[in-house]
Every structure is written in structure tokens, then in C-alpha cells.
Amino acid sequence: MNRQLAAVVAVATLLVSSCSLFSHDDNQSPDRQRPGRHSPRPHPSPTTDVYAQEVTWENCETDVECTTIDVPLNWQDVTGETISLEVHRRLADDPDHRIGSLLINPGGPGGSGVDFLDQFVSTAGDALLEAYDIVAFDPRGVGLSTGLDCGDGSVLDEYFITDVDVETEADLADARERNGAFAQGCFDRSGAIIENMDTVSAARDMDVIRAVLGDDSLYYLGFSYGTQLGATYAELYPQHVGRMVLDGAVDFMLPDDQISLVQAKGFENALGNFITWCLDSGDCPLTGPAENARAQIAQLALDAKNEPFWSGNGVDVNGNRMVYGIVVTLYDEASWPYLKMALDETLGQGTAVYFSLFADLYMGRDGASGSYSDNSMPAFTAVSCLDVDAEDSTIDEVLDFRRSVTEAAPTFGWWFGSASSCEGWPFHAHEHITNLDDAATAAPMVVIGTTDDPATPFAWAQSLAQRLGATLLTYEGDGHTAYGRSNQCVIDAVDAYLVDGKLPAPGTTC
């Protein structure tokens, strides 16, 4: 499958899972056999130096301990250069009944587990917090771990904000040159970490964390992209899987074009749910019926692409920023009033101050200074492009895909179909997961799917659960992921499994 199609996968999974815009304190197809590079999987011995390391925990904030753990830069050379991972933990509330450590991951790729820790603790069930040390980490290349630096705000703005049209072979060649130059700039500033940020390497890092924590088994709760990370771990180390929950599942075994199409449809569906709610509210700035309202939003994004809207902060709202600003509000129905407010401004006044604010929130960007609060945007691109294992596209493939995705998702299709972020990317992972056969032999897992999840559509939860032989827990509702964001039924079901080992009954729906 071509690299352009794979690059389109899950733009929305960049954001920390289960976050609504303002409601928190922060922020079936057969397994695909991809062509290309496949190295034998090294299985480091427990006597490998990184497995034998001892770490010192320090109090870094109230109720949180911090340390760093060393892992190989390149897992093909386990005795070579090492990098460091930032690891934080909150100790179990009931030490006398402590089960062990629960490793969490918020999604991404590029999401900081360290930044996610407080949010997770504030929404997790009491039983879970009593039984586990909650352990969060910044994956390799991300946040406080050995990091990826691709340049200052102006460099990132030029790369991530600029609307790039690919209509001809010459456009495609320019896109490849642009991507190659950006990647080279990251390498010049950061070195070989950009070549070694793939998901398999991050999953191997988790096994070192497990061992250093003194646990025989990995207990894990991953959200969004974190489900791909968890399933990858289960494929590599099925014998070490303890209790594992994968919430907002990414079925990364599906063909790349199907993943992209289904996700574009997911956001189209979420937008339709918003439109219904908005029109029923009595003061919606959109004009019904629903399809007319949908056409208004689609035209708004195209208008921004053709002539950006004034934002008041020096960076106008072009097509990219308009879609970012819309998409971020679709992660949680609690954010729908903010989308209505932004539409009211832009349709009524012809300005896009709110959409600019929302786009900056999505990107981790400070609108006043133009600086970025984290490296989640470049980390997302680096991991995604490393994980792709396919040849570059032809222009005919690009245009054919754009037509098919636009037909399936008319509002967002042109945008999903215009991405070319991995064309010409010069770095490739040493290793890829091509099936989940070994993961299916691991201890029983739980996969959670939300019926109207825009970023990780419910069908992915169904198919990933089937591949893993896992129990599927369904949350009927809108928004991205479920645990800690949806209702008490989900919390009770997950906690019963993680704390007591009680799997949800087949067909359980919350």
C-alpha cells in the first residue's frame, strides 16, 4: 500500500484521548502483509544491561514520583547507545491491597503520558486507584524523554499549517522534496532518534519499564493510538501480558486506504450528529435541513483554503487550520457548543478568532507567540511515517484515493485525501508488525469501542477484538474513547476486570 494513503491515517488520534475541548483541567479484512523491510525480531535477554538497571525515584510533585529509564536507541543493537525515558508514577491508595503497576498511554502517536497522568487520575475509578501504582511515561522522542526537535514555531508553522495541493506529478515531487527537507532538519537537530521512534521500538521500551518496575506481567490501559501500542506489545511479548485494556481501538492490521476511508466517514458521521443537535437547539447558526447545513460547513472549509479568514493573531485561518478547528470539537459532545459558537462568529461576521483558538489548541500552539508547547505534531509525523512500510504513490493513486474518500466523506474528504505527509520521508522502521497471531495467544484482554467515535470508529474495536480474541465492551454514545469520559458503567466494567480479573460478559453495552 502506498505511503500517501498510509499517511492519512488518523489525523485526529494526535490529540490526547478522552479529552473534550474545555471540560478538563488541561488540555474485516485479512491481516495485511506489507512488502518491504522485515528484520528478525530480537528478543533481548533479561540479563541485557537495560533490563538489569536500577533506578532512583524522586518526589517531583505532590503524590507523584519521577525517574528516568534507559533503553537502547536502536533495538537492533541492544548493547549500543541508549536514550532515556521519563517515567512518573502515582502510588496506589491502598498499599496493603496493591496489585502492581498499571502503565497508561494517552494516544498520539506523540502524546505525553507524563502530561496525561493528572487527568487520568482525576477521572479513573476509586477501585483502580486503590489497587495500582499508576505509571505514565513519555515515549521515545516525546516530551521529557530523549526528544525530537524539528525547529522553532516558524519552522513548524510552515510545515504543518501551509495548505499543500497535490494535483500533478510536479506537485507530488515538490511534496516529497518538502517532506524530505523537513525530516532532514529534524535529523540535523536531534540525531538518530528520528530513525528510531517507531511503534515496535516504543513497545519494546514498555517491556523494559515492566521489568524495571519489578512486574512479571504488564498491566496496561491504552487509549486511541495507545491501543496500537498495546496490541504491538502483546504481539511481541504475549507471555508478559497481564490485564490489558485497549480503549478507542485502532485496527492497524486493516489496509491503509480502508483505515483512512473509515476514519473520514467517522468524522463525517460525528459532524452529522453535531448538526442534528445544533438544528434542534433552536439557535443554530446553520440553515436546515441537515444536508444544507453540512454543505455550509464544507463550503466554509473550502473558502478558508481559497482565502483564509482573519484570526486576530497574525496567522489567518486557512483550510488546514479550519479543519483542525472543527475536528477538535468533535472529540467530545461536551465541546459541541463551542463549535456552534465558532460557526456563529465566522458565518455571521466573516472572522475566525474562535476557529484559530481551537486549531492552536489542537496543535499545542500558542497563538500569541507562535511557539509550540510540546513536540506532539512532529512526533506524530515521525512515528506515523516510520510505521508506514510501503512505496511512494503515483499521482494517479493520489488522485484516485482523493476521489474515493471525498465521495465517502464529502465535508472532510478533500482534506483527508490531500495529505502527503509521508511521501519522500527518508527514514523507515527496522521492524513492522504484520499480524497479531501471537497476541491472540496472550492472556484475555478487553477492547472498548464507542459507537459514534469519530477518530477511532467502532468497527475498528470490533475487528481488533476479533483478532485478539478479546472481550468487546461497547459504549453507546458520541466522542472519542470511553473510560473516564463516558459513564459509571464503563468505569465499573473496566475496574472489575483490572482489579478483580472479571471480564465483562460478552455483548456488554454501557
**35-49, 118-132, 433-447: range with lowest mean pLDDT:** 35-49
The rounded distance, in Å, linking the Cα atoms of 211 and 351 is 54
One-letter amino acid for residue 471 of the chain? T
| pLDDT tens sequence across 450-491 | 999 999 999 999 999 999 999 999 999 999 999 999 999 999
* Residue 199 pLDDT > 50: yes
* Sign of the alpha-carbon dihedral angle for 229, 232, 238, 244: positive
Q: Where are the alpha helices (DSSP H) in 418-487?
A: 458-468
| pLDDT tens sequence across 413-427 | 888 877 567 889 999
Asked if residue 140 lies in contact with residue 81, where contact means CB atoms within 8 angstroms, the answer is no
Q: What does the pLDDT read at residue 420?
A: 62
* Residue 40 pLDDT > 60: no
Cα-based distances in Å from 353 to 341, 356, 359, 360: 11, 5, 10, 11
Q: Is the pLDDT higher at 423 or at 202?
A: 202
* Residue 3 pLDDT > 60: no
Q: What does the pLDDT read at residue 18?
A: 37
* Residue 275 pLDDT > 50: yes
- At residue 65, φ and ψ (nearest 5 deg) are -105, 150
3-state secondary structure of 11: helix
Q: What does the pLDDT read at residue 14?
A: 38
| pLDDT tens sequence across 279-304 | 999 999 999 999 999 999 999 999 99
* Residue 386 in grid coordinates: 516510520
Report the interhelical angle of 336-349 vs 256-281 (nearest 10°): 80
Q: Is the pLDDT higher at 54 or at 314?
A: 54
Instruction: Give Cα 484 distance to the centre of its chain.
Output: 17
30: confidence class by pLDDT, cuts 50, 70, 90: very low
Mean per-residue pLDDT over the chain, rounded: 89
Q: Domain residue spans in the chain?
A: 256-363
157: confidence class by pLDDT, cuts 50, 70, 90: very high
Residue from 321, 338, 320 nearest 329 by CA: 338
Compute and round to an integer the Cα radius of gyration of the chain: 22
Q: What does the pLDDT read at residue 421?
A: 73
258: confidence class by pLDDT, cuts 50, 70, 90: confident
Q: What does the pLDDT read at residue 419?
A: 58
| pLDDT tens sequence across 66-77 | 999 999 999 999
Q: Where are the alpha helices (DSSP H) in 282-309?
A: 290-306
Q: What does the pLDDT read at residue 284?
A: 97
388: confidence class by pLDDT, cuts 50, 70, 90: confident
Asked if residue 75 lies in contact with residue 204, where contact means CB atoms within 8 angstroms, the answer is yes
Q: What does the pLDDT read at residue 86?
A: 98
| pLDDT tens sequence across 123-134 | 999 999 999 999
The upper half-sphere exposure of residue 497, i.e. CA atoms within 13 Å in the direction of its Cβ, equals: 29
State percent of the chain over pLDDT 70.
90
Q: Where are the alpha helices (DSSP H) in 213-255?
A: 225-236
| pLDDT tens sequence across 211-246 | 999 999 999 999 999 999 999 999 999 999 999 999
48: confidence class by pLDDT, cuts 50, 70, 90: low
For residue 62, give every residue at least 6 positions away whose Cβ sits within 8 Å of its Cβ, in sequence order, or none.
none
Average pLDDT of the segment spanning 361-382: 94
